[in-house]
Amino acid sequence: MPSAAGEADVGNRTRGRRDGGAPRVGLLSLQGDFERHRETLTALGAASVRVSLPEHLHDLDALILPGGESSTMLRLLDATGLRAPVEAFVRTGPVLGTCAGLILLSRQADRLPAPTLGVIDITSSRNAWGRQVHSFTDSVHVAPLGDDVQGVFIRAPRITRVGRGVEVIATYGGEPVGVRQGVAVAIAFHPELTGDHRLHEWFLRDVAGLALQGRAGGSQ
C-alpha cells in the first residue's frame, strides 16, 4: 500500500499547469542517465525536477525513469523511501521508462533483487540485446511518429512477452522495442542520446496531454 505521503503526492498532481507555467516533469535521479533527459526536456520547454526523495514527486505532471542499472535502482527505491510514492504515481500518472526504466515498469523481469513496479503487462529480459561491448545504434520504426528514429541500444532489455491491452509503439527487426499501456510508456533504447526529441515530445503531448512551449522539429 502507498504511504500517506505517496497518496498526497498523487492527489496533488495535475496534467497541465493551471498557472500557465511550464509542465513539471520528474526525473528519477537515483542512478543512471538522467542528465540527457533533462537537456531534452529543456529543449521542449518543460521544467525538469530531479526526484531522489518522496517529497520531490509533489505536483509533477509526468515522470521519467531513465536508463541505468535496474537492480541498483530497485535497491535505492527502497533505501530512499521512494518505492511506495513512485508506485502510487505510476499507477495513474504519465510515466516514460527507457532501457532500465522499461524493466522497472514491466509486469515481470528476470534476475532482480525486488519486485518491479509492474504497471505495463510485459515480460522483459535484462541485457538481452547484448553486453556493453555489443552496444549499437540502428533505425527503429516508431508507429505514433510514422517514421524511424535512431535507437541507441546499450545493454538493452528485450521484451519477451506482450500482454493483452498493451500497444506496441516501436519495432526493430520485427521485435517490439517500445510499448504503451494507458499513460505508461516503456522503450528499450535511449532516445535521449540522439538529439532527436520527437519521442519525448510525443510522450509529453499525446500521452501525458501536456502543453509544451518548444517543439522537436523534424527527423534528425
Q: Kindly report the CATH number assigned to the domain that includes residue 139.
A: 3.40.50.880
144 domain residue, yes or no: yes
What pLDDT band is residue 133 in, cutting at 50, 70 and 90? low
pLDDT digits (tens, 9 = 90+) for 104-118: 999 999 888 999 999
Distance CA 89, CA 62 (A): 9
pLDDT at 110: 86
What pLDDT band is residue 4 in, cutting at 50, 70 and 90? very low
Range of the domain at 69: 4-207
Q: What is the mean pLDDT of residues 91-114?
A: 94
pLDDT digits (tens, 9 = 90+) for 53-84: 999 999 999 999 999 999 999 999 999 999 99
166 domain residue, yes or no: yes
Q: What value does the mean pLDDT of the chain take? A: 88
Q: Give me 186's grid cell.
A: 516503456
Q: What is the mean pLDDT of residues 35-62?
A: 96
pLDDT at 126: 82
Longest dimension (CA), the chain: 47
pLDDT of 211 strictly over 70: yes
Residue at grid coordinates 520531490: 56
H or E stretch including 137? Answer: strand 136-142
What torsion, rounded to 10 degrees, do the Cα atoms 49, 182, 67, 153 define? -140
20 domain residue, yes or no: yes
Which residues form the catalytic set? Answer: 99, 190, 192
115 domain residue, yes or no: yes
53 domain residue, yes or no: yes
Residue at grid coordinates 538522467: 34
42 domain residue, yes or no: yes
Q: Give me 101's grid cell.
A: 526504466
Q: What is the mean pLDDT of residues 4-16?
A: 40
220 domain residue, yes or no: no
pLDDT at 132: 64
Q: Give the count of domains, the chain.
A: 1
| 3-class secondary structure, 147 | strand
Distance CA 84, CA 4 (A): 9
Which has the closest alpha carbon to 213: 13, 15, 19, 23? Answer: 23
Q: What is the mean pLDDT of residues 167-194?
A: 97
106 domain residue, yes or no: yes
Length of the chain, in residues: 220
